[in-house]
Structure 1
Amino acid sequence: MAALWRRRERLRAAPGLCRTVRARSGKNEYDLLVIGGGSGGLACAKEAAQFGRKVAVLDYVEPSPQGTKWGLGGTCVNVGCIPKKLMHQAALLGSALKDAQHYGWNIAQPVHHTWKVKYFNMKGSFSDPHTIRGLTKAGKETIVTAENIVIATGGRPKYPTHIAGALEYGITSDDLFWLKESPGKTLVVGASYVSLECAGFLTGIGLDTTVMMRSIPLRGFDQQMASLVTEYMESYGTKFLKRCFPNKVEKLESNRLQVTWKNTDLGTEETDSFDTVMWAVGRAPDTEALNLEAVGVKTNSETGKIIVDASEATSVPHIYAVGDITEGRPELTPTAIAAGKLLAQRLFGQSSELMDYDNVPTTVFTPLEYGCVGLSEEAAVQCYGSDNIEVYHAYYKPLEFTVAERDATQCYMKMVCLQEREQRILGLHFIGPNAGEVIQGFALGIKCGATYPQLMKTIGIHPTCAEEITKLHITKRSGLDATVTGC
């Protein structure tokens, strides 16, 4: 970065120098230039530097419509996974305090939450296939050239701009984690994991929270599990407006936001007022300012995402892309990091290993967590046919729920197996406490082709929720009661 700074200072004095030097020498300034300082981009850059290559990173965060901005690190670190998990934990601690009295703890004063936020920069575009034009916030230009370029600019939340008042008065997850005051009574519009996670922890810290869903929750996930997640959230206190979509948002004299929406089931128009309206209706790739068309990098005309091959290469051989900006890839931080590292190893470390995007585990951090790896039941049936699929399942009660007499109706797990090939496990789904920790352990076995008989030979750790997976024996096909009773 020091070299980049010195280069920039020289360019201020002689803006045409870079192109002149390159034209005379035929060499590029850097071996690798990464556009985007998020998880995938930084992982790729750091890995390339380990091979002694000259690497530069360009990163700039365009402020959100509400003015929210942050520094290096990307969505995950600043406005995504990390603050989300911390807020999720804050909500869980609130529930734990309520349970504590059942375990003998005396909590003298009412339990409530205090909203706290602690606040702990060149935009790039292509000039030619090897040249990036960088602009600072002040509009000063720097020209950087590189032999290889990686695009890792990720995505930003979408605004439904066709809805009156959406942009003027609404926020997104980019803004939520940077609010200086509590969002108060909140409407979260959308049925994605971002929507449900945010609504879950807002409810958990004691806020009046409503989720508005146009269609199904957690599209792309197993729908039986998604229904259980939303059922638990409703029992937890989150309100749901199902099969509804907003028409407009208006600001009242009281500064509250009045939302008008259509209820498609009833065919009626309804209204209510909120302190905050948060849009969680998907994310769009951050490609507009890159000038990709000028250098021939192809994108999907519908999604705007960059089309890459198995080696993360775009339609221009020395230009690559990793992470959320790429077409057909999981929008997950760990996959972007792994893909970035493997790309750098292929470019500079004489490796040929490609990123394997199959059986990537993930967790939705709703109040009752949902973790999964592999295929959903619907996807397995679509791939192999219902007659070739066996589903083992169980409803269970976590031990820690018993003393506080917490409802465990939605604590459920299922294993989707292929009847052929010794019942290879195609997917594992778990709803319950610490789902991410549970699924991470089983993900290795499933990645290695584990079978149902092998898992049944695995001894469970007692007393844990995860051990119930090693005892799954009731199939859906049998129609028998799948409720676990006692040890």
Structure 2
Amino acid sequence: MHQAALLGSMIKHAHHYGWEVAQPIQHDWKKMAEAVQNYVKSLNWGHRVQLQDKKVKYFNVKASFVNKHTVGSVTKDGKETLLSADHIVIATGGRPRYPTHIEGALEYGITSDDIFWLKESPGKTLVVGASYVALECAGFLTGVGLDTTVLMRSIPLRGFDQQMASFVTEYMESHGTQFLKGCIPSCVKKLPTGQLQVTWKDCASGKEDKGTFDTVLWAIGCSQAGYTKDDLEFLILLTPLLVCWECTTRRVPETRSLNLEKAGVNTNPENQKILVDARDTTSIPHIYAIGDVAEGRPELTPTAVMAGKLLAQRLYGKSSALMDYNNVPTTVFTPLEYGCVGLSEEEATARHGQDNVEVYHAYYKPLEFTVSEQDASQCYIKMVCLKEPPQLVLGLHFLGPNAGEVIQGFALGIKCGASYEQVMQTVGIHPTCSEEVVKLHISKRSGLDPTVTGC
């Protein structure tokens, strides 16, 4: 769906390159949704085939623990199945969170899981939250031509570099996504017309306001999970102290129905995530947990995949290698993509002190933005390094086209302990956005204009 939005933007600018495209361009939600859903179904089918080829037995049922070595399930036709094993791995992931304390939220709202399976266009949409899930969804909804508003309690992309996060939202705002900042929703009602009326409060002034939408999409953090409506009204008075909506935990772990207590597996009572050690072992030595369901793990698919591979190798391949969660690269697929690896500028200065950190940065203009005269004011790169030679690279942040492809390559070097000098000795590929990384030479400390000009 992100790709669909990017294609729409390219079509709008195609006339600069000589293509005659009928205006206004139209997007067919049904056609896109059908293609996306068919692709996902094909992936699921492919996984089942591979499991069968590898002689792995697959049970399409919901299981729960009977005891430390046994899980049981009941099929739709009432047939009970019991499975016992020497080792058990829990990898049940999580589900999006509904703010059940808000009137009408569960009855009338949807989540990011639902948006991808809608057969009809969601129409005018309110996205509540400012996590990467929220901004990605809002970005592609705007990109396919829908009236989209983001309601955010505090900062966007909590846990990411905040300078980069600000650029992401600035770009989205300048390209059509509307933002209601510093607001908390309190009620969702269905009107006789079928539309949804949302009531929210401004945290700074305490004033109440309303808006009408066709769809309300919840993409919130966990901090509001236990709040009642009265709590929210009181907490408005404590705005500077309130933990924000968009905290790093956005999903509810699938642990509540597993009967973990029957196996003796301990969880964090606050969020129900499973407590694990560096070897992914739970409180029971032969039971393991990987991925989003485990406490303190990045909620990223690739980290779960690698953790699972390493666990299998430790159990059956005579390996002792542990998953390293440092310098994990990731990308936020907002309209202007944001890729990063390593520490944010805030994290680096907190760990090493501001005087011991050097930040090299640059504003640049992607070649694909030139002829089409696209706005590149938020296209920005910064490399966070230790100040003392050899200036170890602590983090790299890239905002621009194909950010994931750019960061994936540099992630290897940073994982291997690359220094600023080594990056500068790397030959750039011209004309790419990636080459701007190996040309970074202006530090923030210098105060010089970091805008790239000429060669």
Separation of aligned partners in 2, 1:255 and 1:108 = 33
One-letter identity of the residue aligned with 2:282:
T
TM superposition shift of 1:303? 1.8
Distance 1:341 1:226 in 2: 32
| Distance across 2 between alignment mates of 1:141 and 1:466 | 55
Which residue number corresponds to residue 279 of structure 1?
A: 218
Shift of 1:109: 4.6
Residue 173 of structure 2 aligns with which residue? Answer: 234
Matched residue, 1:113? 27
Q: Give runs of aligned pairs for residues 36-435 of structure 1, distance below 5 A.
A: 87-116=1-30, 117-118=33-34, 119-120=37-38, 121-281=60-220, 282-435=250-403
TM-score (norm: length of structure 2): 0.87
Please give the per-residue CA displacement for 1:441-484, whole angstroms capped at 9, x wherever unaligned.
00000000000001111111111111011010110111111100
Higher-Rg structure is 1
Q: Secondary structure at 1:353's aligned position in 2? A: coil
- What is the CA distance between 1:129 and its match in structure 2? 0.3
- Corresponding position of 2:233: none
| Corresponding letter in the other structure for 1:246 | P
SS of 1:201 mapped into structure 2: helix
Distance in 2 of aligned mates of 1:323 and 1:222: 23
Q: Give the drift of 1:134.
A: 1.2
Partners of 2:337 and 2:314 in 1: CA distance: 36
Q: Quick one: distance in 2 between partners of 1:138 and 1:184?
A: 39
How many angstroms apart in 1 are the aligned matches of 2:89 and 2:110? Answer: 30
- Any idea what SS the aligned residue of 2:423 has? helix
Query: Match of 2:251, as an amino acid?
Result: R
> C-alpha separation between the residues in 1 aligned to 2:78 and 2:154?
43
Q: Match of 2:86, SS?
A: strand
Question: SS state of the match for residue 397, structure 2?
Answer: strand
Aligned-residue offset at 1:404: 1.4
Tell which deviates more after alignment, 151-160 or 259-268. Answer: 259-268
**% identical aligned pairs:** 73
For the residues of structure 2 that align with 1:136 and 1:368, how far apart are their CA atoms?
Answer: 45
> TM-score by structure 1 length?
0.81
1:459 aligns with 2:373: no
Distance in 2 between the 1:203 and 1:265 partners?
27
State the match for 1:41 in structure 2.
Answer: none
Amino acid at match of 1:338: M
CA distance in 2, matches of 1:274, 1:198: 16
Moved more, 355-364 or 131-140: 131-140
Q: Which runs of 5 or more structure 2 residues have no equivalent in the other structure?
A: 39-59, 221-249
Runs of 4+ aligned structure 1 residues displaced above 3 Å come to: none
